[in-house]
Amino acid sequence: MSTLTARGLTLRYLIALGLVAFLSIASHFVVKDMLRVSKGSAEIINVSGRQRMLSQRIVGLALELDRGDESARASLKAAIKEFRMAHVKLLDFAKVAIDSPAAEARLRDTYFGAAGTDHAMQLYLAAADRIADSSRKTGQPQYDADLALLQASARGPLLEALEQVVTIHQSVSEERTERLVLIQRLLVAVVVITLQIEALFIFRPMVRDISGYVRQLMDLADRDYLTGLANRRAFSDKARIEILRARRHRHPLSIILVDADYFKQINDMHGHLVGDAVLVALAHSLEAGARQEDVVGRIGGEEFAVLLPETSLPQAREVAERLRRSMAGCPIQAHGKSVEVTVSIGMASVPLDAADPLTAALGTADAMLYKAKESGRNCVWPKLTRVDTESASQSGNRS
């Protein structure tokens, strides 16, 4: 049996369970962060793509307005407003720390450094606002310059700057995703290792201990608490197995009932501890005289039964007489007292063709035991004839 106590096993189990719970929660947050990163990257790409599309739409609407289509003015103003909001959102993304110093430097340089994307956007929006708020006037230098700026920006530098922003954010997202995937794999590996450790050092000892306890309980359920012999239920189960075997092979089967004489007087005169010692001594004597295939059990207070496979009634009498003589000729020493004990024994052949052979045999043996008590005790019943005895001698002794 394991030397681990229930408290020790419980503590180990709780620690391991807590570790698995912690790792599971950590894994949940890692996955959640991965989704957040993916969502943020997708949003940036979506906003930037929308902004590139709006830059082309603004130029197209400005040209329609330049050709005199006043219906394009409202759509132009709406497109400019949406473009400005997208630019503000991208600037907010650029100002947030993204756990990559190199990428942060590239973003700042793209918007506020040599690339001057933010300044170019502001000029682009200012020109678009002026065109949306004015009308075509021949020879007006500012209007022509604004329209030329919109067309030039939409064809090259503006689109390139927006593409650069998307590329930076996408690379950062990929780096963070790879890092989070690595962390997720490490967490899964630790969980698997933790579960293996639990199986080896917690559940295996726990199962071993529980199996041992179950075996003990089953043994206790089958054993008489005082003598260690099979109790009545276990004796009956084993006896019925032997009866089936005897039926199949048509072999003789006998049973003897053994009862200590004047046992109540022993308890009254010497006390129950001495009485228990007498029962233990009787049980030991029965076991000592039994073969490996015999079934020995305590079926009552001071009553014992022995089932004798492949044993005829005359052969069973020899066993019973040997047991009776051994008990009568050897006083029991218990708690400083010497107690002389005799036994009465009843025998019966097991009727294999009966509906319930064991119950029938026990009933017959009990009746014979009662006759032995009536006949003065310290004897074996039934008394066999000389013919029975000679038949037993011819068939040979029990091996």
For 227, half-sphere exposure in the C-beta direction (CA atoms, 13 angstrom radius) is 26
How high is the pLDDT of residue 198? 73
More confident residue, 120 or 343: 343
CA distances from 377 to 83, 149, 275, 301, 370 (A): 117, 131, 18, 17, 9
Taking residues 336-351, report their average pLDDT.
Answer: 94
**97 pLDDT exceeds 60?**
no
Could you read off the pLDDT of 364-382 as tens digits, one per residue?
A: 999 999 999 999 999 999 9
Identical fold, 6-194 and 232-395: no
Instruction: Report whether 314 contacts 392 (CB < 8 A).
Output: yes
CA angle 10, 16, 21 (to 5 degrees): 120
Q: Residue 380 has what DSSP assignment?
A: E
Could you read off the pLDDT of 25-43 as tens digits, one per residue?
A: 877 777 777 666 666 667 7
**Percent of the chain surpassing pLDDT 90:** 37
Determine the Cα–Cα distance for residues 41 and 162; give it in Å rounded to an integer. 14
Report the topology of domain 232-395. Alpha-Beta Plaits (3.30.70)
Determine the Cα–Cα distance for residues 343 and 335; give it in Å rounded to an integer. 21
How high is the pLDDT of residue 208? 77
Please identify which residue in the block is written with the tokens 């009498």: 317
Could you read off the pLDDT of 187-234 as tens digits, one per residue?
A: 788 878 877 877 777 777 777 777 777 677 766 678 888 999 999 999
Taking residues 291-319, report their average pLDDT.
Answer: 94
How high is the pLDDT of residue 297? 95
**321 pLDDT exceeds 90?**
yes
Give SS3 for 122.
helix
CB neighbours of residue 117 within 10 Å: 24
Determine the Cα–Cα distance for residues 388 and 393; give it in Å rounded to an integer. 9
**Percent of the chain surpassing pLDDT 70:** 84
Which own/partner contact pairs does 87-93 have at CB distance under 8 Å and 24+ positions apart? 87/51, 87/121, 87/125, 89/47, 90/44, 90/47, 90/48, 90/51, 90/165, 91/118, 93/40, 93/44, 93/169
How high is the pLDDT of residue 2? 47
DSSP labels for 162-228? HHHHHHHHHHHHHHHHHHHHHHHHHHHHHHHHHHHHHIIIIIHHHHHHHHHHHHHHHHHHHB-TTT-
Length of the chain: 399
How high is the pLDDT of residue 345? 97
What positions carry a catalytic annotation? 302
Please identify which residue in the block is written with the tokens 């066999």: 384
Domain ranges, ordered by start, for the chain: 6-194, 232-395
State the pLDDT confidence band at 1, using cuts at 50, 70 and 90.
Answer: very low
Give SS3 for 14.
helix
Which own/partner contact pairs does 16-21 have at CB distance under 8 Å and 24+ positions apart? 16/194, 16/197, 16/198, 16/202, 19/194, 20/191, 20/194, 20/195, 20/198
CATH number of 6-194: 1.20.1420
Determine the Cα–Cα distance for residues 66 and 144; give it in Å rounded to an integer. 10
How high is the pLDDT of residue 143? 82
Determine the Cα–Cα distance for residues 340 and 326; give it in Å rounded to an integer. 11
How high is the pLDDT of residue 356? 95
How high is the pLDDT of residue 232? 92
How high is the pLDDT of residue 34? 65
CA distances from 155 to 25, 50, 59, 124 (A): 50, 16, 10, 12
The verdict on pTM exceeding 0.85 is no
More confident residue, 358 or 396: 358
Residues 6+ apart with CB under 8 A from 300: 232
H or E element that contains 343:
strand 343-349
State the pLDDT confidence band at 98, using cuts at 50, 70 and 90.
Answer: low
- Kindly report the average pLDDT of the chain as a whole number: 82
CB neighbours of residue 9 within 10 Å: 17
More confident residue, 161 or 248: 248
Determine the Cα–Cα distance for residues 351 and 365; give it in Å rounded to an integer. 12
Return the minimum-mean-pLDDT range out of 181-190, 323-332, 354-363. 181-190
Taking residues 76-85, report their average pLDDT.
Answer: 90
